Amino acid sequence: MDTFERVARVVRNTQEVIKPEEVHALFEREARPRAYFGIEPSGQLTVAHLIAVRKLRDLVEAGCEVTLFLADWHAWINDKLGGDRERIHASGRYMQAAFAALGVDSSTVRVRWASELTGSSEYWARVVRVAKATSLARTKRAMSIMGRGEEESNLDTSRLFYPAMQAADIFELPVALAYGGMDQRRAHILAREVGHHYGWPIPAAIHTPLLSSLKGSGRMDPASGVIEGKMSKSDPGTAITIGAERAEIDQRLAGAFCPARQVGGNPVVEAVRFIVFPWEGRLRLERAEKHGGPLEFVDEAAFLAAWTEGRVHPQDLKGAVAAALDRLVAPVRRYFIEHPEFAASSFLAPRAAPGGDPPGPT
């Protein structure tokens, strides 16, 4: 690939690029730009994470040196899995295995844990520098990256560490290109502001869209920090887990919010746009002849035109999406059958007495 092809691969299917000219300059300047994607080991993955896996594969194909960052300390701060260090680590191993089953493994990406950084005094010096360059009000605005909507009085002080740590991670790894969903943009903007303050290398950033809840409820405005309506692993009713059987996929989609002709806030239409087309490049509807027969779309524009004109019925669309998601998650299902020690059961059941020590790989 030449530079233009590499950049096109990196920015395709994104919702935001900060900034396009910086991304292009990065690939002009470096043969192997360092990129990263951070995720809290905090529960089961959902089909929404197929968006991230596809983008990680794009980054690898574009020649990036990619880090999959398992933010175990961040999950601990955020009280995920009850703050239980063993469950958080088991969730991280499960996520690493699921990503590997989908083609993002140790042969293509570097896996790092936050606990590999937190043992260094230099890391904490970086965190303090980030915090000293950031007002308390700015830190509080960035706290939406933790995905919480609690009143300030209910938040313990450790929450204030989170934004400074996430910005520090970017410089400590270090990376030149930060990738995340739109819910991560505030953290990446904070890192850029701090970088300008200290004269540190400024990371470019790319963000992919968030998949709406199957319930179709809640506001989605990542720019203002409001992400109430996204598909969430913390609320099973809003999501399809990444290892789901076909029967569960069918059941969840059967009850999904999918008003005819509506595009915005429609999780089934979003699944076509953000998952099916990027992964498979086409959408096929298996319809009876009396309903018009099979129908196939090979680009998003043609599908959206047919959908908004009412030429595609919601039930037919749900069936097509279910079939596509079933194909895409099949490798994950097979992997966990063959390697049950990494399956979600390893961390779903809480222990009798959650530990209070910092989590980390063993």
Comparison of pLDDT for 52 and 151, the residue scoring more: 52
> Is residue 351 over pLDDT 80?
no
C-alpha pair distances (Å), 329 with each of 7, 92, 100, 243, 351:
28, 18, 12, 6, 29
- CA 76 – CA 74 distance, rounded (Å): 5
Q: Looking at the whole model, is its pTM more than 0.75?
A: yes
314-338 and 85-101 helices cross at what angle (nearest 10)? 110
Residues 6+ apart with CB under 8 A from 203: 170, 175, 176, 177, 178, 188, 191, 192, 195
Most confident of 145-149, 155-159, 294-298: 294-298
Distance between CA 34 and CA 37 in Å, rounded?
Answer: 11
In order, the DSSP letters of 145-174 are GG-----GGGS-GGGGHHHHHHHHHHHHTT
* CB neighbour list of residue 177: distance below 8 Å, 6 or more residues apart: 10, 23, 26, 33, 34, 35, 36, 59, 64, 203, 204, 205, 206
- Percentage of the residues of the chain whose pLDDT score is greater than 90: 80
pLDDT value at position 108? Answer: 92
One-character DSSP codes across 12-72? TT-SEEE-HHHHHHHHHH-SS-EEEEEE---S--BTTHHHHHHHHHHHHHTT-EEEEEE-H
**Lowest-confidence range among 77-81, 95-99, 242-246, 290-294?**
290-294
Please, is 338 exposed, middle or buried when counting C-beta atoms within 10 Å of its C-beta (0-12, 13-18, 19+)? exposed
Q: What was the pLDDT predicted at 234? A: 57
CA-nearest of 228, 186, 222, 226 to 205 is 186
Q: Would you state the pLDDT for residue 356?
A: 47
Q: What distance in Å separates the CA atoms of residue 256 and residue 306, rounded to the nearest whole number?
A: 20
Q: Collect all residues with Cβ–Cβ distance below 8 Å to 285 and sequence separation of at least 6.
A: 294, 295, 296, 312, 316, 317, 319, 320
Query: What value does the mean pLDDT take over residues 239-254?
Result: 95
Element (H, E) at 178: strand 177-181
Distance, CA of 6 to CA of 22 (rounded, Å) = 14
pLDDT value of position 354? 44
**Statement: residue 358 has pLDDT above 50:** no
239: three-class secondary structure by DSSP: coil
| Contact indicator for 112, 173 with CB cutoff of 8 Å | yes
Catalogue all structural domains in the chain, each as residue range(s) with its CATH number.
3-211 (3.40.50.620), 242-341 (1.10.240.10)
| Mean pLDDT calculated for residue range 24-35 | 97
Report the SS3 class of residue 109.
strand
pLDDT above 50 for 249: yes
Alpha helices, DSSP H only, in 173-236? 185-198
Asked if 103 and 57 touch (Cβ cutoff 8 Å), the reply is yes
Residue 287 banded pLDDT, cuts 50, 70, 90: confident
**Across all residues in the chain, what is the average pLDDT?**
90
Q: Among candidates 35, 54, 36, 43, which has minimal Cα distance to 211?
A: 54
Distance CA 64, CA 109 (A): 9
User: What are the percentages of helix, strand and coil residues in the chain, rounded to 5?
Assistant: 55, 10, 35
Mean pLDDT of the 89-99 span: 97
Question: What is residue 296's three-state secondary structure?
Answer: strand
Percent of the chain residues past pLDDT 70, beyond the cut: 88
Q: Which residues pair with 67 in a beta bridge?
A: 36, 110
CB 51 within 8 A of CB 97: no
